[in-house]
Amino acid sequence: MSSSRRQFLTAGSLGFLGLSLADLLRAKPMGKAQSCILLWLEGGPSQIDTWDPKPNSAFQPISTNVPGIQISELLPQVSRRMDRLSLVRSMHTRGSDHPQGTHYAITGHEVNPAMQFPSIGAILAKETGIRNAMPPHVLAPQWEKARQYEDYFRAGFLGPEYDPMCIPDPSKPDFQIADLSLPKSVSAAAVENRQGFLQMVDRRYRKLVDGAEHAQMDGFSAQAWKMLLNPGVREAFDLSKESEKVRDRYGRDAVGQSALMARRLVEAGTRFVTAAGFHSNSWDTHAKNDEGHRDRLCPPLDRTLSALLDDLKDRGLYDSTVVLAMGEFGRTPFVNNDRGRDHWPNCWSLAIGGGGIAGGRVVGASDAEGAQVKDRATSMGDLFATIYKAFGIDWTKEYDTPIGRPIKIANSLEDQTGNPLAELF
Amino acid sequence: MKGLWLLALATVVWNAEPVAVRLVPSEFRLYRAGAAQQFVFAAEYADGSTRDVTDAAQWAASSVAGTVSESGRMTARWAGAVEVTAKWGRWQASAQGQVETAGGDEQFRFRSAIGSILTKRGCNSPACHGGVKGRGGLKLSAASLFPLDDYEWIVQGGAYQVLSAQAKGERKPRIDRQNPEASLLLQKATGAVAHGGGKRFAVDSDEYRTILGWVRRGAPFGPAEDETSRVASLEVYPRILSLEKAQKHRLLVTAVMENGRREDVTAQALYLSSDKATAGISEAGVVNAAALGETSILVRAAGQAAAVIVGVIGEPVANYPAVPRQNFIDEFVFEKLRRLRMVPSALSHDAEFLRRVCLDLTGTLPPPGRVEEFVRSRDPKKRERVIDALIGSPEYVDYWTFRFQDLFRVAMFANGINAKWSQMYGEWIRESIVKNKPYDRMAWERLTAQGYDGPTRHFLPYDVIGSPEETMAEEVRVFFGRRLECAQCHNHPYETWSQDQFWGLAAFFGRMFKMGDTGNEYVVFDHPLDEAMGNGDVNGKIQVLHPRTKAELRPTLLDGKTVMATGRENPRKALADWMVQHPYFAEATVNRIWSEFFGRGLVEPVDDFRSTNPATHPELLTRLAEEFRRSGHDLRALMRTMVVSRTYQLSAEPSATNRADRVNYSHALPRPLLAEVLLDAITTVTGVEERFTTTVTAAGNVTQRTPAGMRAIQLREPDVFHSRFLDLYGRPNRLALPERTGKANLGQALHMLAGSIYNEKLGAPEGWLQQQLRGGATDASMLQTLYLTAFGRPPELAESQELLGALAARPDRNEAWKDLVWAILCSREFAENH
C-alpha cells in the first residue's frame, strides 16, 4: 500500500475522467500483463496456409525453433521465434460473414441490434485504467470505408471514455493525430486568451442555471489542456522518434507502421492497441488464395510480427505485453472455383504470447484437413479469459447493462463463461 | 387582468382542518367467508395533500356480515350487505359492501397459498431465485408469475436453462413427502441448513406451518389456474403520494383477476423502496417518509409488479401563488408541484422562449432579425403565432425527418447496403412528415411493408432479411416503448412478458423473404404457405421454432389470440392492426415526443416502459395518449399541445423551492444540443459550411462530398459519412440501438481546443467573421449580431462593456475576434438548449 498515498495525492486530477477516488484506490489487477497489442488480420487468414499446415495447403510445413511445432513455410521469420508465441489451432466461433465475424471476435457476442457490446479493448481499458495520461485504448489505422467495423471496437454501454481513439494510417507521409496538438494557427497564448473570453461569455448563463454537467465539462477541458501541453503524450504518437532502421524493420506499409505505433503507445502507457494495417490488403482471399497468401499477405505478417516480437524483447516489454495475431475467422479447407478459399468459423488458428502467456506451445488440434476441431474446441470466451488472466482480471466477471442484463466479459458458447487456456500458463 | 392573476394568492393554513374525508375503497365485494379487505381513511387538505388517519379512527361494521379491526381491516363472516364506518374527530366516512359466500370456501391453490409466501419473503425476487437463471440451483418465477413452473422446480427439482428446455444438472427436489420437516424448502428458509439468502422465516411462523401442512398433505398443486385465479393486473392506492418528513401512509394493493373480480392483496405483497433514505416501507405496506426527495416503491404480488411514486415534501410554501394554466398539461404538472410544495419558475422571457422553441421544433437557431422582431412585438398571441409558423415549415420537415430517421434507423448498412435504398426509406419518412401522415398509419405502413417501397428496406440490415425475433423486438421497442429482447432467451426478469409471448409475436415476421433476379434489385414479401416460388430454396414450409422447446410457433398476439396464416395473406397486417390500437402504442409515442421537448420522458428511458419503471405523471401520460388517439394520431397537434403549455414555456432559471428538481418540470431542463444540431448551429454562427465526405460510393474508390448547403440533420447515411465531431458529440450508431449519450467527454474537450470544427472555421475567408472584419464593421455591431445569432438574445450591458473592453485591449483585432467567436461556440449557453 506504499503507493496509495501517492495515488491519493494525484487522485484529484483524475476525477474528471470519470474515475472516482474509490476506483483509483481499488486494488488494480495484479497480473504480469500491462498492455495488449492485437495484430488484426482483417478478412480472415487461411489456417492451413499459416499456423496449421495441412496436406491440402499448397505450401509446405517448416520446422520452428520449438521442437515438434511446424508452421507454414510462408512464415519463415516467425518460425525462428516460435518460442515466444503459442498457437491455438482449435478456435471455434460464430459469424460467417465479416461484420458478424468481426463483431463476435472482438466482443465475444453475436450481433444483437438491441445492444452495443463492449469490445475486449474497452473492457481492458476499463479494468486496468489510465497510465501516464495516455489514452488507454487506441486503434490504428481507422477505416477509410466500412466504418461500421470501427463501431465493433467501441465500448458500448461502458461509455465513450473507453472507446478506442481511432487514428489515421501512420505510414502515410501526412500522418497527423486529430486533436492531440494545437493547430499551427493557435498558439498556447491564444488558448489562454480564449479561456479568458470563455469565462466572460459563460458567466451569466452559469449563474442562472445550475449544472453538474458544467463542472464535468470543465474537468475534461483541464485534462485536455494537460494532454495538449504534455510532450510525452504527443511524442508517443510520433514515429519520427524511431530510427530509420527500426521503421524499416517493421515495414514501411500500414501493417508495419501500425504495429510500430502500437509498440510506442504500449511503452508510453496505452492498455490496448489494435494494429489494423490490413484494411487495404485484406486476407479475404475468395479468389487466388495461394497467390494472396504467398505474395501479399504472409510476407508483411512474417516481417512485422517478428519485428514486433524482437522489439518488445529488446525493450523489456515482452513480459508485460500480450501479443495476439488473429482475424475474424479462418478459411475453407477446400478451394472454390476461383481458386479461393471462403469464410470458415468452424475451426481456425491464431497466435498469442507475451505478458505472462507462454510461447512455444500448441493448444487444440484440427482434423486432417484443418476443417473441424479434433481436440479441445476453444471459444472466444476461452481466449478472452486467457487474456484477462494474464492481466490478473477476474474473467468470470459480468457487467450489468443499463437495463440490468448481465453481460459476461468472457462469453463462451451456449451462455457459458470462458475458461483460461491452462496450457498457456 | 393577467397581473392580478399572478398576484392572487391561494391561502394555505398550516395544520388546518381537512376539506374532505373518505374511505378507500368506497365500495367493495368479498367472495367467501374469511376474505379480508383493508381500508384507508384519507383526510384531504386544501393544499392537495392527503393524510392517512386510518390508525387514529374508530372503526365499525353495520352488520354481522363482517367484522372490522382497529386498523381498518374487515374480515368477511356471513353473506349479506355491510357498511363500514370510520370516525375521526368530528369527521366520518363510510364504504358500502357485499359479502357473498355462494362460491364456498377457498380452494387450495399453489400460487395463492405457497407462491404468495415465496413472494412476500422475497424468495422469488429477481435478485434471488426469481432471477433469470435462479440461484443456488433453484429457479422460481418472479413473484410467482408461472406457478406451474415453480411447482415443478420445487417438487421435482432442476433449474432453468436459457437456451434449452432441459433442466440443468442434477434434479434435486426441494420437498420431502416422506419426511416433511426435512424438506429443503423449509430447512433453507429457516436457516437450519446454510442458505445464501439467510433466514426468511422462523419455525414458529405461519409461513412455516402453511408450507409444512402442504407437504404433509402430499404437496398438491390444486386446481389448474383459471380466470378466477389468474391475476390480470395489480392496482396500488395511491399511485402518487406526497408526505411530509416523518409522516406515514398505508398502501392498498388490489389484484384484478382475469374475470374482473377485485381482491385485496395488501397483506401478501412484497414492498421495496428504491431509495430508503427518502422513504422506507414496512412489511405491511406502510410508507414512512424519511428525507426530502422523490423515490418509488415497488410492489410485487401475484406475478405482477406495480410502483408508487413517493415525494417527501418540504415546509409549506407561504402564499403559494396561483399559477396560470394554459392547458391540461399544466393542470397535471402544476397540481403535482403544488402537492410537492414547489413553485414553478417564472414564464420564460421572449428571447429565451424563441430560441428554445425554434431548436425544439426545427433544430435551427432563430435568425437575428426574427429575434429582434419577436421581442419587440406587442401581439399577445405572438407565441402561438410563432409556434404555428414553425410547425410544418421546411425546417420542421427536415428536423422531424431527421428525428424519425434516427428512430427508424435510416443508414446505408441498415437498409440493404445500398445508398439508393436508405434514400428511398428516408424519403418515405420525409413525405410522411410533410403530409403529417397519421402516426398510426405510418407505423402500419412500416410494420406491413411489402414489395420495393421505402419502409420495406428497414427489414434488410446488412442486406439480409433480419431474423424474426430481432425484427419483432425492434418494432416493439419503437412502437410500444418496451424492451422485449430479454424474453428472447428467457421470461422477462421484471415483467410479465413470457418467452412464449415473445416468440408468438416474432412468428408474425417468420415468413419474410426477399427475392429478385436483376442483380441487387429485390422485393420483400411474405412467403405464401405451401407454395413454391421457384427460387429453389423453400416451398413455403417456413417455420419459426421455439428456441427451448423446438416446437413450431404460430403467430400469436400478446392476449393469446393466434392468427392463422392463410395462403398469400400478409400475416403482419393482423399484427399491425392490433399494435396501433393497443394502448401501449399511443402511450409510447406521446412519451417519446414529450422527451424531445422536455429533456426526459414521463417514463424514462423512453424505450423502457415497465410496471417497475413508473411514469412521473401517470395521469398526464394517459391523458396525452387519449388526446393523441382522439386527434387521429396527429403528431403536429400533439407537439403543439406540448409547446403551448406554460410548463414548456417556463424559464430555465430555478426558483428557491424548485432548485433540486430534475423530474417534475418546475423549470426548463437545460439539455445538450444534439450533435447534428450543434454542428449546424456552428455552421450558422460561423457562416462556414461543413461538407461531409465518404469513400463508400456506387462508383467505388471515389471520395464523394455532400452537396453544398446540406445540413448535418439532412444526412441519410450517417454510417458512411465520417465526422469526428458528430461521433464525439453522440451521433448514435443506427445499426444498433440508436441511443444518444451526448455526455461531456474528453474527446469533446480536445476537439474544442484543437479540433478542426472549432478552429478552421474561424479563419475561413468566406466566413461571417472574416467578412465582417474586412467590411469594417464595428466591434459593437459585430457583438450584437453574434449574440443574437448564437444565443438568440442581445448582450447585456455589462457583458458588452466587458467584452468590448477585452477586445480593445488586444493588439491583433483579427486574433482577438477569433478567440471570442471560439469562446462563444464553446460556451455552455451555446451548446445547450435551455
Q: Cα(A351)–Cα(A302) distance, rounded to whole angstroms? A: 12
Q: Where are the domains of chain B?
A: 20-99, 110-216, 232-313, 438-580, 675-833
* Residue A252 CB neighbours (<10 A): 12
Q: Note whether A150 contacts B: Cβ–Cβ < 8 A.
A: no
Cα–Cα distance, B668 to B687 (Å, whole number): 29
pLDDT for A145 beyond 70: no
How close, in Å, is residue B241 to chain A by CA atoms? 26
pLDDT tens digits, one per residue of A315-338: 999 999 999 999 999 999 999 999
Do B806 and A196 make contact, defined as CB atoms within 8 angstroms?
yes
Q: How far apart are CA B465 and CA B251, in angstroms?
A: 49
Q: Which of A97, A167, A201, A205 to mutate to test the interface with B (most CBs of B within 10 A)?
A: A201
**Is the four-CA dihedral B490, B493, B497, B498 of positive or negative sign?**
positive
Summarised one tens digit per residue, pLDDT across range A36-87 is: 999 999 999 999 999 999 999 999 999 999 999 999 999 999 999 999 999 9
pLDDT at B721: 87
Question: By percentage, how much of chain A surpasses pLDDT 70?
Answer: 91
pLDDT at residue A148 tops 80: no
pLDDT in tens, A236-258: 999 999 999 999 999 999 999 99
Looking at residue B428, its pLDDT comes to: 97
Q: Does B169 touch chain A (CB under 8 A)?
A: no
Confidence bin at A29 (pLDDT 50/70/90) = low
Chain B interface includes A112 (CB < 8 A): yes
Contact A180 B806 (CB under 8 A): no
Task: Give the containing element (helix H, strand E) for B83.
Answer: strand B80-88
**What part of B 480-509 touches A (C-beta under 8 Å)?**
483, 485-486, 489, 493-494
Query: Given this model, what pLDDT does residue B315 score?
Result: 83
Q: Provide the mean pLDDT of chain A.
A: 89
* Residue A234: predicted pLDDT: 85
Helix (H) or strand (E) holding B95: strand B91-99
Low-confidence ranges of chain B (pLDDT < 50): 1-14
Fold of B20-99: Immunoglobulin-like (2.60.40)
Note the helical H segments in B247-327.
none
The pLDDT confidence band at residue A192, using thresholds 50, 70 and 90, is: confident
Contact by Cβ (8 Å): B742, A160: no
Which of 616-675 (B) contact A at CB < 8 A?
A: 652-654, 659, 670, 672
pLDDT of residue B768: 97
Give the mean pLDDT of A181-207: 88
Quick one: pLDDT band at residue A228, thresholds 50, 70, 90? confident
Q: Place domain B232-313 in its CATH homologous superfamily.
A: Immunoglobulins (2.60.40.10)
Is residue A371 predicted with pLDDT exceeding 70?
yes
Residue A6, pLDDT > 70, answer: no
Residue-level pLDDT at A385: 98
Could you say which residues from 353 to 392 on chain A have a Cβ atom under 8 Å away from some Cβ of chain B?
A: none
Per-residue confidence band for A23, with pLDDT thresholds at 50, 70 and 90: very low
The helix (H) or strand (E) run that includes residue B68 is strand B66-68
Query: Is the CB of B605 less than 8 angstroms away from the CB of A159?
Result: no
Distance from CA of B115 to the nearest CA of A (A): 25
DSSP notation for B36-62: EEE-EEEEE-TTS-EEE-GGGSEEEES
Contact at CB, B749 and A223, closer than 8 angstroms: yes
Place of cell 472574416: B770
Of the candidates B824, B746, B730, which has an alpha carbon nearest to the alpha carbon of residue A221? B746
Residue A419 has pLDDT above 70, yes or no: yes
Per-residue pLDDT tens digits for A101-139: 999 999 999 887 667 899 999 999 999 988 887 889 999
> Residue B108 has what pLDDT?
85
Q: Do domains B20-99 and B232-313 have the same CATH topology?
A: yes
The pLDDT of residue A28 is above 70: no
- Indicate yes or no: CB of B462 within 8 angstroms of CB of A228: no
Contacting residues of A for B759, CB less than 8 Å apart:
183, 185-186
**Residue type at B781 in one-letter notation:** S
CB contact under 8 A, A185 and B759: yes
Q: What CA–CA distance (Å, rounded) separates B355 from B254?
A: 47
In CATH, the number for domain A29-177+244-424 is: 3.40.720.10
CA B440 to centroid of chain Cα atoms: 19
